[in-house]
Amino acid sequence: MMRNRFLVAGVGVCLAIAVAGCGSSKKKTATTATTTQTAASAYAPATTTTKSTAKSTTKTSTRSTAAVKTAAKPPTSAPKPAPSQATGKVIVVKAAKVGSLGTILVNESGRTLYTYAPDNRSRVTCTGGCAATWPPLVIPNGATVKASGEVKQSLLGSDPDPEGGRVVTYNGWPLYTFVADSGPGMASGQGIFLNGGYWYVITPAGQVIH
């Protein structure tokens, strides 16, 4: 009788333990599931943010690259060159009374203009060292020559300069200034023999004064 009671009590204890064990297992399983879900939820936003950041970085990089390529492209058309500074410039030949020579040709600054006998009223022959002493009255590209006062426009012209450009002529004679004339009203080069020939002034009528 006593032995049977112990057996029954033992079976009851085992059942209680078993029930408790099952409950604990369920709780553990539920806890584990909850923990897994929580962990998954915690990582999900981070993954989305990473993808979003990566897309944003890629777009920014693409735009930056496009901007660099656009900036590096050469202009579709080259800028137009600036017009020559001589364009529209006017070389003025005037007449002025200089000492006992009377009225003769001068440049726009009033300096006396000379003819060179070796030119022979046909071409420019004063070049090199000669031109350094007797600077020719040159016409820049695009410039025009204009008569003033008693000077006749019909007698004005130009001859090619062997050193480049063109030289103003009057009645066929190339015109030069003289470095020894320090200013207007001087004609220290009149009638002198220098640089291989004689130098003479010329009147508005186109006459060389010897």
Domain extents in the chain: 1-64, 90-209
pTM of the complete model beyond 0.95: no
For the chain, percent of residues with pLDDT exceeding 70 = 59
Backbone angles phi, psi at 69, to 5 degrees: -65, -40
Segment 31-35 mean pLDDT: 42
pLDDT tens readout for residues 62-111: 454 444 444 444 444 444 334 345 568 999 999 999 999 999 999 999 99
pLDDT at 161: 97
pLDDT at 88: 80
pLDDT at 115: 98
